[in-house]
Every structure is written in C-alpha cells, then in structure tokens.
C-alpha cells in the first residue's frame, strides 16, 4: 500500500512506521551523490529507509477507529492494543534490493528510488497488512478494507504497495520517471520508527 501525508490532523506526534533502514546504495557515497542531478536536494543518507507499513500518529489512528466504530472502540483501549501488536511483530532480516528507476512520490513533491525487493519482503509486507486486518477486526471494525483506504491517520492512497526510498525534493511538480544505471541497495533488519513513542503496556 502506498501512503500519503495526513491532512487535517488535529494532533501532533511522531509518525509510527515499520521500515527497513538503507545501509548502502551502490558502491557507497559517490553512487548516492550521483542522484543529485535528478533532484533539488538529496536527503541525508543516514536517514534513508524503505517503509513496509505506515501506521501514522497513534492518537490520530485511535480517533479514526473511534469514529468508524461510532465510539464503541475507545482510544484508551485502542492505543495499548495497537502498541502491543506492533511490538510483537516478527523482525524481517536484512536483505539486498536493486533499483534502476526514479519515480515521483507524494503527488509529485518528492522523487524516490523504486526498489525491486525479494519475494520474502513482499510476503512480510503482506503479513503486516494481514495482521493489521486482524487487529482492526479484534477492535470491532467492519468494512476493514474501506477503513484502511479512508483513514486519514493511515493515509493510504492505493492498495498496491510500491517499494521505494524517498531520496529528495522533485525539481518540479511534474517530474517524469527517470531510468538510471542499476544500483544494488543493502537494507538492515526491520524496525519500528519512533518506537519510543509507543504507550507502555
């Protein structure tokens, strides 16, 4: 699934995602710096990652769930359930991917590497989505697919997941896809971004 930025959020807080950090692109810094000719400003390589599941700001998600269930699922119950599910997820071991294409993201504001990843990564992402379905079912939601695609907190625009790494700001809002020389990409083990923001059990 492809996520977008939440609009109209009434709360502030760190966004929770399941992601894998980028350890290396190509042969190192020079290969990554070479992407600068396609974007306005490259992101700091130390922060590069590939998102497997976007959960969003937990308070916003709890509000969305409460609204969907017409108040039956209380935020004070939802938050620890979501945190418990996240912390019990299995870890995906690091892997190698590759990319030969830059694509526009975020409505054209950002450019990113579209990444070809092993099948086990797709399987893990599907496991995450299935687990989210089960969690939402346990919380009493119906029409779960509709909820996932309409929740501002989750922020999904499409049910199709496109593995990608955002690398920099697009030069214009209408940048086309760009083919590049193929580069290998090394990823680390999966992790919860902003794990420290999860409520304690």
Domain range enclosing 139: 14-96+118-164+186-195
pLDDT of residue 28: 79
Q: What is the mean pLDDT of residues 39-47?
A: 93
pLDDT in tens, 93-145: 999 999 999 999 988 889 999 999 999 999 999 999 999 999 999 999 999 99
Question: What's the rounded Cα separation, in Å, for the pair 94 and 2?
Answer: 22
Q: How many domains does the chain have?
A: 1
In this structure, is residue 111 part of a structural domain? no
Q: What beta strand segments (E) does 12-151 contain?
A: 16-25, 49-56, 95-105, 110-114
In this structure, is residue 4 part of a structural domain? no
DSSP state of 153: T
In this structure, is residue 88 part of a structural domain? yes
pTM, two decimal places: 0.89
pLDDT in tens, 152-177: 999 887 778 999 999 999 988 888 99
Question: What's the rounded Cα separation, in Å, for the pair 156 and 171?
Answer: 24
Q: Which helix (H) or strand (E) holds 61?
A: helix 58-68
Q: Are 101 and 22 in contact (CB under 8 A)?
A: no
With CA atoms as reference, report the closest residue to 56 among 200, 197, 190.
Answer: 197
């Amino acid at each position: 699934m492809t996520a977008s930025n939440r609009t109209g959020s009434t709360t502030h807080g760190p966004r929770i995602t399941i992601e894998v950090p980028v350890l290396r692109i190509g042969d190192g810094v020079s290969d990554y710096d070479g992407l600068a000719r396609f974007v306005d400003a490259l992101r700091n390589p130390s922060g590069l990652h590939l998102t497997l599941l976007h959960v969003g700001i937990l308070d916003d998600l709890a509000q969305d769930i409460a609204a969907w269930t017409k108040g039956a699922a209380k935020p004070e119950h939802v938050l620890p359930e979501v945190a418990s599910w996240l912390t019990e997820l299995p870890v995906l071991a690091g892997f190698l991917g590759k990319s030969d294409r830059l694509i526009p993201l975020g409505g054209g504001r950002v450019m990113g590497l579209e990444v070809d990843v092993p099948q086990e990564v797709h399987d893990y992402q599907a496991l995450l989505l299935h687990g989210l379905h089960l969690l939402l079912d346990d919380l009493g939601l119906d029409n779960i697919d509709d909820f996932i695609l309409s929740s501002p907190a989750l922020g999904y625009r499409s049910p199709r997941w496109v593995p990608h790494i955002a690398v920099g700001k697009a030069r214009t809002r209408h940048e086309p896809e760009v083919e590049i020389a193929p580069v290998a990409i090394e990823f680390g083990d999966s992790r919860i971004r902003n794990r420290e923001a999860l409520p304690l059990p």
